[in-house]
Amino acid sequence: MSATATLVAFDPGVSDDAQALRARLAPEDSSVAATYQGLAWELQEAALEAAVPNWDGYGGKPVERGTAIAARAFLRALQPTWPMPKILVDADGDIWFQWQRDSSRTFAVAFGPSGAAHYAGLLGRSRTHGEETTVNERLLEVVARSLAELYPDALRVTA
Amino acid sequence: MRWLRGVWQSFIRTLFASQPDSIGAHERLTRYIYSSRHFKGSSGTVEPAALMPQPSTGETSVFRIDGLRTAAIWEIGAGIRRDSKRTLHARADLTTRSVVEAELLVEPRRPPERHAVIIGWPDDKDARMSRAQMLAAACRLLVAPSP
């Protein structure tokens, strides 16, 4: 199967928890839906650019189908109030969702073929990093908290 | 044309001048960037993903650029990937000190001349991401000149 076909045809078959999250967080109005579509397009573009070995000139691994599925599941769980992330691929072929105010205030979540989520944040002088086995409530709480630190004027964490 | 040959030979000598085996604490390094997603020219930022180690080696490839003229620095970056037809988009300059502050190490790795690698990356992916964020924060982005 070609890289294009693989990435276009991926089916976000994820856990029950993530399915429930997706249903709860599904975009309801047209502007949110348009944002989601824009990100879905960017995700596909990024994955296609990194669909061949050595895409980065340093022997970078290509994006695998499982990675694209996991990233798509996270994309569906993004909250409409969150700022738009940038989508990137790293040398492991993992897909990053990254929010960045400037070089010393940044937060990213990365997905690989296992579907596990690895996150890291540099929030001024403080750092955070960790892992979740899938897109779940804990991960979304970490993202929400980190984004509230990155964008204090725009976002508040509610109990 | 003799002067031109002299300039060229001087350029080549500078480019491939042997470097000491130990890397100085404040030595300048650069990471060449061949993916347009790995930097943001408008804000002058280097994406941490651009600095993540190569999966096959666990190392991040860099070049030692002390004593080189600007044109020579760009020429190395373009030259090393000429065979694979990769476009050099930018480079991220950093110092040995910033590598150490990110709790990583740098060591020479020839050939090619002036090549070095950032080593000591942690096993956990999220910890590697964190170190890459620290490194990126210390980098200075330079966008490649138009050909």
Residue B29 touches partner A, C-beta closer than 8 Å: no
Bridge partner list, B115? B63
A154, B47, B100, B127 alpha-carbon torsion, rounded to 10°: 70
Count of structural domains, chain A: 1
Q: Per the structure block, which two tokens stand in for B126? A: 């999220």
Give residue-wise pLDDT tens across range B46-61: 999 999 999 999 999 9
The helix-helix angle for A16-25 and A137-150 (nearest 10°) equals: 50
Which of A90, A97, A122, A123 would you mutate first to test chain B, the one with the most B CBs within 10 A? Answer: A90
- Domain hosting residue A84, numbered range: 12-150
* Residue at A41: amino acid letter: W
- The nearest alpha carbon in chain B to A94 belongs to B49
A43 located within any domain: yes
pTM above 0.80, yes or no: yes
ipTM: 0.83
Domain ranges for chain B, please list them: 2-143
A156 located within any domain: no
Q: What single-letter DSSP state applies at residue A138? A: H
A20 located within any domain: yes
Give residue-wise pLDDT tens across range A104-157: 999 999 999 999 999 999 998 899 999 999 999 999 999 999 999 999 877 655
- CA B145 from chain centre, in angstroms, equals 16
Q: What pLDDT sits at residue B80?
A: 84
CA nearest B32: which of B131, B124, B112? B112
Counting residues of chain A whose pLDDT is more than 90, the rounded percentage is 68
* Residue at A20: amino acid letter: A
CA nearest A91: which of B135, B64, B61, B65? B61
Give the minimum alpha-carbon distance from A28 to chain B in angstroms, rounded to a whole number.
30
Q: What pLDDT sits at residue A1?
A: 36
A103 located within any domain: yes
